[in-house]
């Protein structure tokens, strides 16, 4: 996103949006390949999709929401597993504005849904 003068880059939210889209496409591709295989390979593909791609997509969406000014509660009103704030911070540092103020929820414990 550019500043008013259309020359200075304020943040790189478009790159983060593309990352979110590519992770969603990767999950769709892996799911399609799961249907075509069987046995141990199918289990490996599913584990990669569920454990790696899904968590990376969640953290990318959280970082994208923070860059857009949304609160954590509005993005995840209920959660069962607290996010990896270290990963979200890394994405905010890479894609967010230089003067980004870290939300208080990153330091406070997350309320877990019962």
What CA–CA distance (Å, rounded) separates 65 from 51?
21
Specify the pTM.
Answer: 0.81
**N-terminal to C-terminal alpha carbon distance within the chain:** 39
Q: Furthest-apart CA pair in the chain: how many Å?
A: 57
Nearest C-alpha neighbor of 59 from the set 79, 32, 87: 87
- Domain parsing of the chain, residue ranges: 13-106
42 contacts 31 by C-beta, under 8 angstroms: no
- Averages of pLDDT over runs of 10 residues in the chain (114 residues) are 61 88 97 95 96 96 92 90 92 82 67 53
Q: Model confidence over 5-20: pLDDT tens digits?
A: 666 566 788 899 999 9
């Amino acid at each position: 996103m550019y500043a008013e003068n259309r020359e200075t880059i304020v943040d790189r939210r478009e790159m983060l949006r593309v990352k979110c889209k590519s992770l969603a496409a990767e999950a769709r591709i892996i799911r399609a390949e799961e249907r075509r295989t069987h046995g141990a390979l199918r289990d490996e593909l599913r584990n990669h999709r569920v454990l790696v791609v899904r968590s990376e997509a969640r953290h990318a969406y959280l970082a994208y929401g923070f860059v857009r000014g949304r609160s954590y509660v509005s993005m995840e009103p209920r959660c069962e597993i607290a996010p990896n704030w270290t990963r979200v911070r890394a994405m905010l540092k890479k894609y967010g504005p230089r003067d980004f103020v870290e939300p208080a929820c990153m330091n406070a414990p997350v309320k877990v849904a019962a």
